[in-house]
Structure 1
Amino acid sequence: MRDEVPAKVLAIIEGGLLTHGKQNIYEVLERLGVRDLKEKVFDYVWEVPSGVPIFTIWAEFVAVHPISGRMFYVEDLANRTTLEGGAEMDTGQLKRTQDRRRQMEKVRDGKPFIAVLQSNVRSIDELMRNVTAKPLDRIKDSPWHVARWDEIRQRAIMVRGEAGWEPTDAEVELFINERRLDCPEVLAERSDASEQKDSAPLVTFRFPDQAHRDQVEAASMATIIDLFVSQGFAPQDVSRENRGYDIDVKDAAGFSKIHVEVKGTDSDTPGFFLTRNERACAASDPLWELAVVTNALGEPQIDRYTAKEIERYFVFEALAWRCDLKR
């Protein structure tokens, strides 16, 4: 269900729906050139004339890494039960699994493929009891690629975006078993660059001159405003009003939909300062959201977080205190 989809994944789905409107899978696959659609519309992987397959990715099972922000999905081709240990697969479901295995051979070397991100009408709990996975929303999303193939487990780690990053084995196991990635031991493993070849870079704070800070801030604000304008919203810059957020995002009728606090950095790693007022607003305002723009002066990347997610994914450390004379 939509409320079980990670916020970042849901934002991609909502962006696709705003851009292209509500589409059924038949329309999506027809445009991509899939042949014999009437016989294949209920499949979960499809061949196209280009030879690059299209895979369904169940949005509820997509993991969002708390440090890198990258998304990944674990494809377990050894499994013979329905979603996460449910009932035994029937003949049709086994065939679909075999089809995915066969198409996986074409992209195991990291070749990009197209994904159809799908969220479901039923909850994950219901799906685990072998209830029909009737789709709620589906959008075309690319590129995805197979970052690693585990031959022993018959498991593919599928990652969204360009090659060069993949989750560790510990992170994959943690997400499969507990559906979370906030274990301190796992995050610590990522921070040890000397022992992990794919470690995330350590965040270092520097204090550039005011002109540089103003440039990064302006570029970050422009990036977020352009994003919401492209989605059909009317964002208003209220950063000078000390509301605890920078942009009031309104719909066509003039109603506020999201209150966005914008943080920007010239680095490619998220790291920012949050004021007491901003954090208090995050705790009290249900519309509050954080948008972090990395590489703001180059090719900007956007990560969006709810108030609960920033408490979950980020470590808060006091770097300064206000000191007044005791009275």
Structure 2
Amino acid sequence: MDKEVDPKVLAVIDEMRLSGPRLTPVEIVAKMGVFDAREKPFDHAWLATGDNVIATIWAEFVNIGDGGRWFCLESLDTQHRVGGGVRSPQQIQRAKDRRALLKRTVDAGQGFRAVLQTNRVAIAELESNKSAKVSTRVRDDAEWHVASWDSDQQLAILVRGARGWVPGEADIQAAKARGSVPVAAAGDPAAAAAERSASREEVQAAAMDYVMRHFKGYGYNAEDVSSQKLGYDLEVSNAKGAKLLRVVVKGTSTGVPSFRLTSEERASSAREPLWRLLVVADAIGTAAQHKIYKPSEMEQAPGFEPLD
């Protein structure tokens, strides 16, 4: 949130926002050379044309060190959320993708381009609150680079501007206090334990409940036909009764990070034009989210396990 951002950083962001064209967050990334930006709206780093890496920098985590230099701490822990707790499979994949792209710049001795952004809710809730969305995003014309990469400590330091400067220990400790580096044991122990102990059946039931509520919330009819073994779980239709989708629902969670399609579901995906795979990540947790895949895309779904 804006009130969590250093006033000097916020002033620069406001100036960029007011002086540039009015673009959506996705359009900003697309104009920086990411052709598939619309397909990856929730990613935190992208590979653009010319092998340029673009990464989000959350302004709430930007610190100002000696000489007015901007820097932020980057957790290399892909398993835990910034605000504490275990990430969902989709969140883990996004974190791994971001880490890989930043490491690519380190190995190549190159910098990366950044988009500065603020969050609509408290930054500690970035990955746990369903209302967490980009409030403001602007392109930063100054180059950023990875000034330090410590795999043992699971910590990198990202610096804006010319190389040759790193923050001192006091600045680093102050930056850690802002919460950009998660504590692995943080979060709600009871909730984390529940996620780990949930059975596959419980995760699937939670996913089905989530999807039924989702479609009905948009005014569609969703009929559970899973007991009929048709190769899909739900038939989704509009108010006039026209069939729109035939959906296979799969849920994942910390304790159930993967799923497989049955032979019936695979066969249906090949013959049924309306067939779709809908994966609900963090189905048991408080930040459930979903994505729909066409048959040609289903193997790209986080947690997908091919048949032996």
**Shorter-chain TM-score: what band?**
0.5 to 0.7
Correspondent of 1:107 among 98, 105, 108: 105
Secondary structure of the 2:139 match is strand
- Write the deviation string for residues 135-164 of structure 1: whole angstroms up to 9, x where unpaired: 110001131111111121122100011111
Correspondent of 2:90 among 89, 92, 104: 92
Q: In the alignment, which residue of structure 2 is the partner of 1:3?
A: 3
Q: In the alignment, which residue of structure 1 is the partner of 2:34?
A: 34
Kept in 1, the 8 Å contact 2:106–2:146? The answer is yes
Q: In the alignment, which residue of structure 2 is the partner of 1:156?
A: 156
Q: Cα 1:49–1:129, aligned 2, differ >3 Å: closer, same or farther?
A: closer
Q: In the alignment, which residue of structure 1 is the partner of 2:69?
A: 70
Paired amino acid for 1:94 = I
Structure 2-normalised TM-score? 0.54
Q: Cα 1:21–1:159, aligned 2, differ >3 Å: closer, same or farther?
A: same
* Percent identical: 39
Q: In the alignment, which residue of structure 2 is the partner of 1:257?
A: none
Please tell me whether residue 147 in structure 1 is matched to residue 144 in structure 2. no
- Alpha-carbon offset, residue 19 of structure 1: 1.2
Paired amino acid for 1:73 = C
Secondary structure of the 1:47 match is strand
Higher mean alpha-carbon deviation, 93-102 vs 121-130, is at 121-130
Which of structures 1 and 2 has the larger relative contact order (alpha carbons within 8 angstroms, sep 6+)?
Answer: 2
Secondary structure of the 1:55 match is strand
Secondary structure of the 1:107 match is helix
- Alpha-carbon offset, residue 124 of structure 1: 2.9
- Alpha-carbon offset, residue 128 of structure 1: 7.4
Secondary structure of the 1:165 match is coil
Question: RMSD of aligned C-alpha atoms?
Answer: 2.1
Q: Number of residue pairs matched?
A: 178
Unaligned runs of 5+ in 2: 180-308
Matched residues in 2 for 1:126 and 1:45: separation? 19
Q: Cα 1:177–1:4, aligned 2, differ >3 Å: closer, same or farther?
A: closer
Q: In the alignment, which residue of structure 1 is the partner of 2:43?
A: 43
- Alpha-carbon offset, residue 42 of structure 1: 1.6
Q: Cα 1:173–1:36, aligned 2, differ >3 Å: closer, same or farther?
A: same
Secondary structure of the 2:137 match is strand
Unaligned runs of 5+ in 1: 180-327
- Alpha-carbon offset, residue 69 of structure 1: 0.9
- Alpha-carbon offset, residue 79 of structure 1: 4.7
Higher mean alpha-carbon deviation, 168-177 vs 135-144, is at 168-177
Kept in 2, the 8 Å contact 1:82–1:130? The answer is no
Q: In the alignment, which residue of structure 2 is the partner of 1:234?
A: none
- Alpha-carbon offset, residue 169 of structure 1: 3.7
